[in-house]
Amino acid sequence: MAYADMLKPEVLEPAIWKSLLAIEAQAVEHCPVALVNGGNLRNSITIATDKNKKQHGASEDGLSGGSAEYQGVIGSGAEYAGAVEFGRPDMPNYPAQPFLRPAVDWFRSKIGQITGGELKKQMEYYNIRHPYKAKEIIVGNK
């Protein structure tokens, strides 16, 4: 067993949510808003998490054979979001006004602080909630 075994759903999901919230906050900051009746695009920015179960065969101890892959999604439901983000092919001199990519790029520079910090915190909570499991993982890892 390894430290990665501590990455249970209850540990991972808060870290993913925290990351998504940070990206969303930045995307909202960058999103262009029209002066008149504006804000639809900004309000349409949405986040979600998803979990794909995967079977990788039996693990080393033969007890747990399944694992899950977690992913976070951020996007916008507005049909013109792509045109704002990348520019418009019908109006090539209409400037692209990226708002999602800058947010993701900013997040990439903070991933250690935000996701890493939250993961560390959640793993510490996991240790408190499941002291025997955590001890088993750490001792078994040697």
Partner 1 sequence: MTIAQSAIDVYLRADSTLMNYIGGVGAPTLTVGRLYYMIAPEDATLPYVVYTMVSNTDAQEFFEKDDTQARIQFDAVCGNSPLAQLTGVAIDDRLRTLLRYHSGTLSGLTAWMIKPANRRERYNPDTARYVFSSDYIIRAHS
The window from 13-21, 80-88, 123-131, 134-142 that contacts partner 1 (CB under 8 A) reads 80-88
Task: Please give the backbone phi and psi of residue 95, each rounded to the nearest 5 degrees, phi first.
Answer: -70, 145
Helix (H, G, I), strand (E, B) or coil at 9: helix
Residue 79 sits in the site that holds partner 1 (CB under 8 A): no
Question: E strands along 33-88, which residues?
Answer: 45-55, 66-76
What separation in angstroms does the CA of 116 have from each of 1, 7, 49? 21, 12, 18
**Which residue number, 6 or 27, has a Cβ lying nearer to partner 1?**
27
Sequence-separated (6 or more) residues with CB below 8 Å from residue 91: none
Q: Are strands 66-76 and 45-55 parallel, antiparallel or unpaired?
A: antiparallel
Helix (H, G, I), strand (E, B) or coil at 1: coil
Q: What is the CA radius of gyration of the chain?
A: 20
Q: What is the nearest approach in angstroms of partner 1 to the Cβ of residue 112? A: 4
The window from 41-49, 50-58, 69-77, 106-114 that contacts partner 1 (CB under 8 A) reads 106-114
Q: What is the nearest approach in angstroms of partner 1 to the Cβ of residue 115? A: 10
16-45 residues near partner 1, rule: CB under 8 A: none
**Which residue number, 36 or 91, has a Cβ lying nearer to partner 1?**
91
82-101 residues near partner 1, rule: CB under 8 A: 86-96, 98, 101
116-135 residues near partner 1, rule: CB under 8 A: 116
* Interacting residues with partner 1 (CB under 8 A): 86-96, 98, 101-102, 105-106, 108-112, 116
